[in-house]
Structure 1
Amino acid sequence: MGRAVQRRFVGLTAAVAALGMTVTLSGCGSDTGDGDVTLRLVAADYGTGAENSSQKYWDDVAGKFENANPGIDVEVSVYSWKDVDRKVAEMVKAGNAPDIAQIGAYADYAEAGKLYAADDMIAIRTASNFLPSLTDAGEADGSLYGLPFVASTRLLFYNKGLFDKAGLGAPQTWDDIQSNAAALKQRGVTYPFALPLGQEESQAETLMWMLSGGGGYTDEVGNYAIDSPANVAAFQWLKNNLVGKGLTGPVAPGKLDRAKAFDAFTKGEVGMLNGHPTLMQEAEKKGVEVGMVPLPGIEGPTKGSMGVADWMMGFKQNGHRVEIGKFLDFAYTDDNVLAFADQYDLLPVTSSASLAMEADNKHESLHEFLSALPNSQLYPFGKTSWAQVSETIKEKIGSAVEPGGNPESVLVDIGSQARQAESAGRGSS
C-alpha cells in the first residue's frame, strides 16, 4: 500500500480506535512479514514548538523507510511528553496498541507480555550496537524489551562569569560547593546553589546527590536501597550545609521545580546547579558562559554520572514482528540516530554513533556529556514499581531538607513504600 492509499485509512483507524476496537487493514500484517502492512508509530515530541517538532523528524524517517521497503507504510503520531505515555496506555487498554512506541517506560508492558523481545525483532548488529549501560536498564527478566532511544547525562554547571568575579575555581568536592556557594551569597547571587527538589523532576536531582555520596536507588543486586546510610548521609549534608546555611536561594528546595531553576540559570541568577546538555545551549544563547565538571563528591569528582534514557518498544498485538524489526533496524542507523541527537542536543545510544559524535568537532560541546555516558547510572527502569516509586520521591523528598525535617525518617518512609510497591508488583505477576 502506497502513502496516498495509506492516508485514506488514517481516518478509519482513528474512528475505530475511538470505539475501543482494533482495525485490520486488508492484506495487512502477520508474523511472517508477508503482504502489505501499515505500522503505527507513536512517539514523544522533544521539540518546543511547531518549528522543531519531532513530527518532522519521524515523517522524514518514515518516508525514507517506505521508499526502501515497498509494501510497508508507517503512520506517525507524535504527542507531547505530558501526554504520550498516557495516550499509549489508553490505546493498549482499548485493545488498539500501536506497533511501535517511543515513550518513557516499558516495564509494565513487558511484564504483561505485550512486547516483543529485541531478539525477536531486530538484527544482531542493531542489538549489539547499543551502549551496555543503557541496555542493562532496558532489560526485564533477562531479556531486552526497552530499546534505548536517546540519552543524556548530568554534570554540575556553574556560571563562569559569577565565579570569575568572585575569584572561585570549579568545585571538585561537597566542601567546595559549600564554600563557593557561601562566597557567591556574600556577593548577592540569588541562588548560590539551585537545588530543585520540587515535584517536576526531583527524582533526578535526588539520584545525583545519592550517587555523589556513594549511594543510589538500588544496591548491587538490584534491590531498593533508598534509605541506605550513604543516601541518608547525603541528604543530611544537604540539609545542614546548603539549605540550613541559606545557600539555596529564596525558594525552598521542595517548592523549586527544575524548569524554574533552569530558567534562573539562563538569566544569570544561579551560581551552580546540576544540568543537562539542553540547558547548556539555552544558557549560552542568553550570554551565560557555562562551566561544567563531573558531579562533585565527598572527596573528589563522582566516578559515575546520572544518565537518562527514553525507550522504544514493539507491541505484539498486531503481529507485525518482522516489519517492526525492519523499521527499527532502519531507525537505528547512524545517520538517523545522529540526526535526532544533533537536533535536540542529546546523546546517541549506539556505540557507532557515539564514536562518530566524539570524532566530530561540531559536537565538541557535548563531548564531556558523551564521555560520562558509558559509566552512567540510570533509574531502575526495569522495575514495574519504578513509576509509582518515582512519584513518591517527587512528592516527599523536598521535606527531607526542610528546617526541622529529618532526612533519615523521610528516606526510610520512601524506602518502605518502594519495597511494598515492588512486593505488590511481584505478587501480581
Structure 2
Amino acid sequence: MQRRYTSLAAAGIVAALTLTLSGCGGGQGQVTLKLVAADYGDGSGPGSRQYWSELTRAFEKKHPDIKIDVDVYSWKEVDKKVADLVRKGQAPDLAQIGAYVDYAADGKLYSADELLSIPVQADLQPALAEAGEVGRVQYGIPFAASTRRLFYNKKLFAEAGITEAPKSWDDVAEDAELLKKRGVKTPYALPLGPEETQAETLNWLISGGGGYTDEIGKYAIDSPANVKTFTWLRDELVGKGLTGGDPAGLNRADAFAGFADGDVGMLNGHPALIKQAEAKGIDYGTADLPGRKGPATSTLGVSDWMMAFKQNGHRAQAGKFLDYVYDDANVLSFSRDFGLLPVTTSGAQKMAGDHRFGHLQDFVGPLRDAQFYPANKTSWPEVAKSVKSQMGAAVGPKGDPSSTLADLQNTADAADTAGS
C-alpha cells in the first residue's frame, strides 16, 4: 500500500500573506497581512476575492491590531509569484499554494504547532495533517481538499440496460461494451493527456492495489501490481475501443466537458464535476472507484497547502489569523462556495449532516483513507512531469506498460537521490 501523502489539483486557492509594520496612525504593534490568494472561481462570479474580502473584514473587526490586504492571482500565476518573492528575499509570511516541501526542506517555514492553537491543529483531518509532514514534523497545513469517485450517466446506463454502477474492473469493461453498442461516443473517459495524468494514473494504481510509493514512502512505480493495472487498461479498455479515442490526447477538462454534454458514460471525477454536470441537467450518480475484484478500498485525495514563512518573524499574528481561517463557519463557507471538502474533522461532520451540500457529502468519507501524491518529496514535481509525458502512450497500440513504468522508476530513483 502507498503511504498517504498529498499535494489538489486537484484544482485551487493560493495565498501568500506578507506581514509588515503599518505606518503612522496605525498604533504601536499594528501589522498588515498581505494576502496573495489564488482564485478557485470558475469565472462566472466574484470567485475567491469575495470569500477573502468577507473573511478578512470580519477578522479585522475582531482584531483591530491586524489588518489584511488581499490580492488574488490565478493558479497559473500564484505559485510563481510566491517563488519569485522568496527568491528575492521578500518571502510572504503566509502562502496557500500547491506545494510546501521545498520551502520546508530549506528551513524557511514555521511548523504547524508553532502557529496553530492546540484545538485547531487537533481538528485537522489526520490523513491530511500527516500528508503535511516532513521528517514527522508538520509544515504543510491543509487548506482545501478533494477526493475521487466514479461518475456515471444514469440515462445512458438505463438506455444500455445497465441497472447499477460497476463495482469491479470486469464490470467497467462489460458496461463500457454495452454503452458502446448503444452508440455512446465515449463509454469510459480515460484522461491521460498532459493536463492531469498524474491524478488519473494514481486513481488506477490505487484501485489495482498499488501506488506511486510503498508503505515506507519509497517509490514503487514499477511494482508488479502497477504493471498489471496498466496492462489491463491497455488490453481491456483502450485496445477494445472503449475509451472513445486515444487517452494520451484527452485532458481532464475535456473529459469533464464531455460528461456534462452527455457524451461520456462514466469516468473518475472530483467534486467540481458536480456543479458542471448539474448545470447541464445531467442525471448522474457517483460510486466508489471500481477495483480489481470489487470496490477499491481507497481513493485519490488531493490537497492545497497553507504555510507560514519565518522571514518576517510575525509568527503570533499569522497564527491568530490562521486560527480564524480554520473556524468551522469559514471552512464550510469555502467548501460550499467552491465545491471542495473541509480539511477539519468538525467541518466534515457538519457537512455530512447538511443537505445543502448534496452530492458533495459523498466525497467526505473517502478522505479518511485516501492516498495522496508523495508531495513531501522534493523529487515529486520532476516525477509528476515525467508521468504526464509518458503514461498516455503506455496504453496505446504500441504501448509497453512494463517498460514505461520501469523508465519512470529510474527517473524517480535518480530524482530522489539528487534531492537527498
Q: Distance in 1 between matches of 2:196 and 2:29?
A: 45
2:72 to 69, 74, 78: 78
Q: CA deviation at 1:136?
A: 1.1
SS in 2 for 1:161: helix
Asked if 1:58 corresponds to 2:86, the answer is: no
For residues 24 and 225 of structure 1, the distance between their equivalents in structure 2, rounded to whole angstroms, comes to 48
The answer on 1:317 being equivalent to 2:311 is yes
What residue is the counterpart of 1:3 in the other structure? none
CA contact (8 A) 2:20 2:33 kept: no
- Partners of 1:218 and 1:74 lie apart in 2 by 40
Alignment of 1:12-411 (within 5 A): 25-26=22-23, 35-49=29-43, 51-168=45-162, 169-250=164-245, 252-411=246-405
Query: Alignment partner for residue 412 of structure 1, among 399, 406, 411?
Result: 406
Q: Which amino acid aligns with 1:222?
A: G
Q: Distance in 1 between matches of 2:332 and 2:176?
A: 37
Q: Is the 8 A contact 2:94 2:318 kept in 1?
A: yes
- Distance in 1 (alpha carbons) for counterparts of 2:412 and 2:21: 41
- Counterpart check, 1:425 vs 2:398: no
Unmatched runs of 5 consecutive residues or more in structure 1: 1-16, 29-33
Structure 1 vs Structure 2 CA RMSD? 1.7
**Which whole-Å deviations, capped at 9, do the CAs of 1:112-143 have from their partners, x for residues lacking one?**
11111011111011110000110111111111
**Structure 2 vs 1, CA of residues 115 and 27 (structure 1 numbering), >3 Å: closer, same or farther?**
farther
User: In 2, Cα distance between the equivalents of 1:112 and 1:234?
Assistant: 37
Residues in 2 aligned to 1:77 and 1:420: alpha-carbon distance in whole angstroms: 38
Aligned amino acid, residue 227 of structure 2 = V
Amino acid at match of 1:57: Y
Larger Rg: 1
Distance 2:380 2:344 in 1: 25
Distance 1:50 1:366 in 2: 20
Kept after mapping to 2: 8 A contact 1:224/1:418: yes
Distance 1:147 1:72 in 2: 21
Count of matched residue pairs: 401
Deviation sequence 1:22-63 (CA, Å, 0-9, x none)? 9765599xxxxx811111222221001262320111111111
Matched AA of 1:239: R
Rounded to whole Å, the distance in 1 between the matches of 2:101 and 2:22 is 29
* Kept in 2: contact 1:358–1:364 (CA 8 A): no
Structure 1 moving runs of 4+ over 4 Å: 22-28
C-alpha distance after superposition, 1:40-90 (max 9, x if no partner)? 222221001262320111111111111111211112121111111111111
User: Quick check: 1:122–1:328 contact (8 Å CA) kept in 2?
Assistant: yes
1:226-267 CA distances to partner (integer Å, 9 max, x unpaired)? 1111111100000000000011003x1011100011101100
Residues in 2 aligned to 1:247 and 1:44: alpha-carbon distance in whole angstroms:
37
Quick check: 217-226 or 60-69, which moved more? Answer: 60-69
CA distance in 1 between partners of 2:408 and 2:332 (Å): 39
1:27–1:36 CA contact under 8 A, matched in 2: no
Query: What secondary structure does 1:51 align onto?
Result: coil
SS class of match (1:82):
helix
Query: TM-score under structure 1 normalisation?
Result: 0.91
Question: What amino acid is aligned across from residue 124 of structure 2 in structure 1?
Answer: F
The amino acid that maps onto 2:169 is W
**For 2:265, what is the secondary structure of its paired residue?**
strand
The worse-fitting range, judged by mean Cα deviation, of 124-133 and 69-78 is 69-78
